[in-house]
A and B are shown apart, each in its own frame.
Chain A
């Protein structure tokens, strides 16, 4: 079989971070004129691989070939000059500038005395934009464009060089269905022009519409490449999840207590709508869905950070309005947020002070904070959660991710909550600490706490939950008990497939 020379080929790529082997001997290639989808769960190594492709990370081992020649790319600019461009998930445009200025940002064409050559600039940009079938002109200010059109500007930026490979990272995350169609047309156009496309997405339906081949990663290692036309969703899902997954977790029926938290028809536009569920003491409920499915917003609404625009929240059967975190905390709801460092911890403070942050007002002796009472609480939860730190004086910023997360969890446990909401509890945490945190969540439920776990990692949800609630586009699509859940059904429930199966 005569094969075309791959536009880009990675061979046996290894990338390690302290304590993590993020990529473990990954092979990947894109042919000219091919759409190659990259698939894997969160944490499987997709984004690391993408950053290696785009020159943002240097691999520890392995080779990169562009058009058959081995290259080293040490910066994103290197990669761009070699014809490899990344379209970021988060747009990185300067909103106050025009489309043209953004497209040639940093490389504006010049005339003598450093003056900008506006004529050439706009001529070139209009040409690119018309190639992309965009209906706005290059002197439109970016802030005035829709998200989809802003994405077009990003893509146009990629086309200022002679792109061999364009990498799309979750490009449809913020697009409407109509906008998606336009994007897919452009991808197909690029493909017809012989550009190799790497398409990263969680959404199975898109991948099957668009791609020629699919490469699956799991836990940082290469699981295989499938030809899209010859495979189906089941096979891909199987590769993604792996049959080795331990499903024999604690499916002992827990001793359930009374309903602690009940939510009826809760809505908060545009994030989620008409959400209803009940949570009992002693149970862990997993909320599973894609990023953007509305789970975090739901948690924030329960915690009083957002105002719902419909529906009711009941605690112990009584309707409550949690209008601020103080309210929620007083009623026994606590939230371990998604981003530890940005939302959960004060990095400039030590471990003890972070642990006692919500209740320091109650730990006073006379006018002053009682250091003894604080240290007592810290010691108690350090021991209970096995937090590893040399001393309470250590700044939390120096702790490992797992220990940081335990500080946040300890902070709330020390407040004796009724409901513990944990958003992405193990994001950025190494494998060992992950298991510890999972066990901890199970133990807490056994002790009678009602626990909500929000996670985008299927093994995690399957491992810790007694019940799993699947969300898609702000709605609960299906609810599973731990005994009856199947991974295929779960994947379908969160990707908007098999809509008819909603229970």
Chain B
């Protein structure tokens, strides 16, 4: 029996190699540095990863659906700029801290609309999502610079910039939001009709069409969700900094895709889950945090992360190739 359960664990780890990797990284840094194994540091890691993590949740949906979204970093920056700027508008001057509400609402709406636009174009034109969102990435970043006039916005309302310091019990509020979103997206993906149909569309679009599934609306909804999460991420990031800079979120799309792919989601669609993505996000968060504590120079961190990405995917292929040998997906 003990053998069986251990066997099941080994099999689970082989299907989710990222969690084995998370475990190794965790043990490694706990042993190698004095400050890693510490509640405050764990809180730190969760807060640091929440930005990328939130977007990674959306990216998992979009990639399982057979698409990709490169515009998330730019969307994040635009949403952050709106959130910080709008609360300072004269019309809300007498609202006190309530001025944050319309600002954040508008910022999130911007994310949803931009995402929806991406999805709509992909749906109606049939142009590859890679190209559409590459264009969106450039275009939206341009809008950010137009809007901010190349300078940063600063939040004048201290309630806004203090938000990120709040805690609920032992959990920093940013970490809590990330965890709640993780659970919500996990349920959406694994339990709802929309989630199921997203897998079907990404797994075999033609079969999905033949089963009467309307492909376009599902894609559009997923793009709206990732737009929302990118905007939310932008808002939370700007509360941490008390400001929105025009270069906010640069390269985030690459970090996000790295985390999602590490978590076992396939670029070709149809495969992946939130549990894996959460592992991928944690792995990146712990590596960056741990190497920082070990005072590894920042540029080496990139080299190491890049190598790990390739190594993990190689192992995944190696372990899962035998299982899928007869399948030839």
A contact residues vs B (CB 8 Å cutoff): 303, 305, 324-326, 328-329, 335, 337, 342-349, 353, 357-358, 360-361, 364, 367-369, 395, 397-398, 411
Contact = CB atoms under 8 A, between A and B. Distances in A.
Contacts of A329: 212
A355 B187 CA distance: 21
A303 to B, nearest CB: 8
B204 A335 contact: no
Contacts of B11: none
A343 B192 contact: no
Contacts of B200: 346, 349, 353, 357
A328 B214 CA distance: 13
Given A364-B192, A364-B193, A368-B191, 7 more contacts: A324-B212, A328-B212, A346-B270, A347-B203, A347-B327, A349-B203, A369-B192
A14 to B, nearest CB: 23
B328 to A, nearest CB: 8
A358 B212 contact: yes
B91 interface: no
Contacts of A335: 210
Contact of A325 (B192, B211, B270, B271): B211
Contacts of B214: 326
13 contacts: A324-B212, A326-B212, A326-B214, A335-B210, A345-B207, A346-B200, A347-B327, A348-B204, A367-B191, A367-B192, A368-B191, A369-B193, A398-B327
A346 B327 contact: no
Interface of B: 187, 191-193, 196-197, 199-200, 203-204, 206-214, 270-271, 324, 326-329
A348 B212 contact: no
Contacts of A342: 204, 206-207
Given A325-B212, A337-B210, A348-B203, A395 B192 contact: no
B196 A343 contact: no
B193 A346 contact: no
Contacts of B327: 347, 395, 397-398
Contacts of B197: 360-361
A367 B210 CA distance: 25
A346 B210 contact: no
A397 B325 CA distance: 11
B329 A357 contact: no
B196 to A, nearest CB: 5
A357 B270 contact: no
B210 A360 contact: no
Given A342-B206, A347-B203, A348-B199, A368 B187 contact: yes
Contacts of A357: 200, 207-208, 211, 213
B211 A347 contact: no
A285 to B, nearest CB: 21
A325 B213 CA distance: 8
